[in-house]
Amino acid sequence: MKNKLNLITIASFFLLAAACSKGSIEETDPEIDPVIGLGVETNAPNTSYAPAFAGQTRMTAVRTSTAIQGTAISTALSAPWGITTLPDGRFLITQKAGTMRIATTTGTLSAPITGLPAVNANGQGGLLGLCIDPQFSSNRMVYWVFSENVAGGTQTSVAKGRLAQNELIIENATIIYRAGPAYNGTLHYGGRILFDKTGNLIVSAGERSDLATRPLAQSVTAGLGKVIRINTNGQAAAGNPTFTTSGALPELYSMGHRNPQGLALHPVTGDIWQSEHGPRGGDELNRLQGGKNYGWPTITYGIEYSGAAIGSAIQQQNGLEQPVYYWDPVISPSGMTFYSGNRIPEWQNNLFMCSLSATHIARLVITNNKVVGEERLLASEGQRFRDITQGIDNALYAVTDGGRLYRIDKQ
């Protein structure tokens, strides 16, 4: 009976959230305990698989006690995919078809920025994630991931170039890395990129989805289904982990990934956190460690879209890493960022993750590298949230597949 009452309480909470006006969400009652009981997910899982440890999935729901508001400050972007904060407080945004835009904190957009290599925007491809050089204020260098047409199909590629002073073009665009082999498909490119604490680039590359390429996530001779670590010239970074199998690529950092669309650096530890799409169930959040194997497709908490088991239908195996957290049903996790601001103190070091199919931003409270609470923000907006960043004003800014740019901050 108690569980039934808890479910009713949570359902009532979501009905109230849905009643918020389009374009904003508000939380105003300071009397509500920030811990509200059961997990935010109330739908049945796709599988009966048991988690490897307590708290690995469906963790306790939490609620932000600070009054917050999310507002769509622009609706004029065209399929934005990546967003990063510029030193002057504006944002550089990629658009899937192959251009970038600059946005202000009030939602004013620049003209499209051109000069980038051609992208293949079919399916899940296009101009994907981006980051700026730590010395951007002096060198104006931008790095990005895109799906490139090459002999044999398409592949996940990395390029760099200088944002011109007039902000209309990327100058001297150069492709510095390609995750091979090429494949004639349009799915699972991965596509996030960031600088780690050593000044090297971390890049996520998908395994291209199909049964023909899926096993390459477990091959150290291929760049598919990997997180790679390279320097700004595209060469394997110094100090990379060593994979002992013959022919291992020197740029590999971790392996056994499916479609990794989220990367974030913890603001205190410098650890690299990563999210990836599972199949039907089994979306994952991982804390990456160099040289580790994260299991796909040997172990997974999901099943095929047809309902069939994947491989031997196992979730644990010696030598393969467990996700810190997983979702079943899926939320389709995409871009993510840790909050290091001070405007909302209870959010300090929380992870904010964009959800595509479940149309919300997931707030994850993490303690000792474990998820201890989960909250769904902006769920009433009905948007496929694609990427998120923290502004220099300590608000969060997120883009959606539908072309919106949101500002999320306290009221």
State the pLDDT at residue 28. 33
* Residue 400 to residue 411: CA distance in whole angstroms: 22
If you search the block for the tokens 């810190």, which residue do you land on?
Answer: 324
Residue 297: cis peptide before it, omega within 30 degrees of 0: yes
Q: Give the Å distances, CA to CA, from 166 to 110, 113, 139.
A: 11, 10, 14
Mean pLDDT, residues 178-200: 98
The verdict on domain 2-410 having CATH code 1.10.3720.10 is no
State the pLDDT at residue 34. 59
Q: What is the DSSP secondary structure assignment for residue 293, as one 8-state letter?
A: B
- Give the residue extent of every domain in the chain: 2-410
Dihedral of alpha carbons 186, 314, 226, 285, sign? positive
Mean pLDDT, residues 112-123: 98
Does the pLDDT of residue 142 top 70, yes or no? yes
Does the pLDDT of residue 61 top 50, yes or no? yes
- Indicate the pLDDT class of residue 266, thresholds 50, 70 and 90: very high
- Indicate the pLDDT class of residue 5, thresholds 50, 70 and 90: very low
Mean pLDDT, residues 280-302: 98
State the pLDDT at residue 283. 98
Mean pLDDT, residues 72-92: 98
Does the pLDDT of residue 33 top 80, yes or no? no
Does the pLDDT of residue 30 top 60, yes or no? no
Does the pLDDT of residue 158 top 90, yes or no? yes
The tokens describing 38, both together, are 């059961």
Mean pLDDT, residues 232-261: 97
**Minimum mean pLDDT range among 33-42, 184-193, 391-400:** 33-42
Which residue type, as a one-letter code, is found at position 156? T
**Minimum mean pLDDT range among 4-8, 304-308, 404-408:** 4-8
* Residue 245 to residue 267: CA distance in whole angstroms: 33
Residues forming beta bridges with residue 407, ordered by sequence position = 71, 397
Q: Give the Å distances, CA to CA, from 51 to 20, 39, 319.
A: 35, 15, 17
Does the pLDDT of residue 370 top 50, yes or no? yes
Mean pLDDT, residues 80-93: 98
pTM for the full model? 0.92
State the pLDDT at residue 13. 34
**Minimum mean pLDDT range among 2-11, 65-74, 102-111:** 2-11
Percent of the chain exceeding pLDDT 90 equals: 90
Catalytic annotation, pick one of 188, 257, 277, 360: 188
Does the pLDDT of residue 17 top 90, yes or no? no
Mean pLDDT, residues 107-120: 98
CB burial string 349-372: b at 16+ within 10 A, e below? ebbbbbbbebbbbbbbbbeeeebe
Query: pLDDT tens-digit profile of 301-330?
Result: 999 999 999 999 999 999 999 999 999 999
Does the pLDDT of residue 7 top 70, yes or no? no
HSE-CB at 333 with a 13 A cutoff on CA atoms is: 33
Average pLDDT of the chain is 92
- Indicate the pLDDT class of residue 293, thresholds 50, 70 and 90: very high
Percent of the chain exceeding pLDDT 70 equals: 91
360 assigned to active site: no
- Indicate the pLDDT class of residue 36, thresholds 50, 70 and 90: low
Mean pLDDT, residues 216-231: 98
State the pLDDT at residue 244. 85
Closest CA to 398 of 45, 83, 4: 83
State the pLDDT at residue 399. 99
Q: Give the Å distances, CA to CA, from 135 to 125, 138, 286, 309, 379.
A: 29, 6, 29, 48, 36
- Indicate the pLDDT class of residue 27, thresholds 50, 70 and 90: very low
Mean pLDDT, residues 328-345: 97
Mean pLDDT, residues 162-169: 98
The residue ranking higher by pLDDT, 1 or 243, is 243
Q: Give the Å distances, CA to CA, from 205 to 32, 92, 115, 125, 285.
A: 42, 22, 23, 12, 16
Does the pLDDT of residue 10 top 50, yes or no? no
Does the pLDDT of residue 6 top 70, yes or no? no
Contact 189, 124 (CB under 8 A): yes
Residue 181: cis peptide before it, omega within 30 degrees of 0: yes
Mean pLDDT, residues 196-222: 98
State the pLDDT at residue 38. 87
* Residue 66 to residue 347: CA distance in whole angstroms: 10
The tokens describing 347, both together, are 């959010």
If you search the block for the tokens 């608000």, which residue do you land on?
Answer: 395
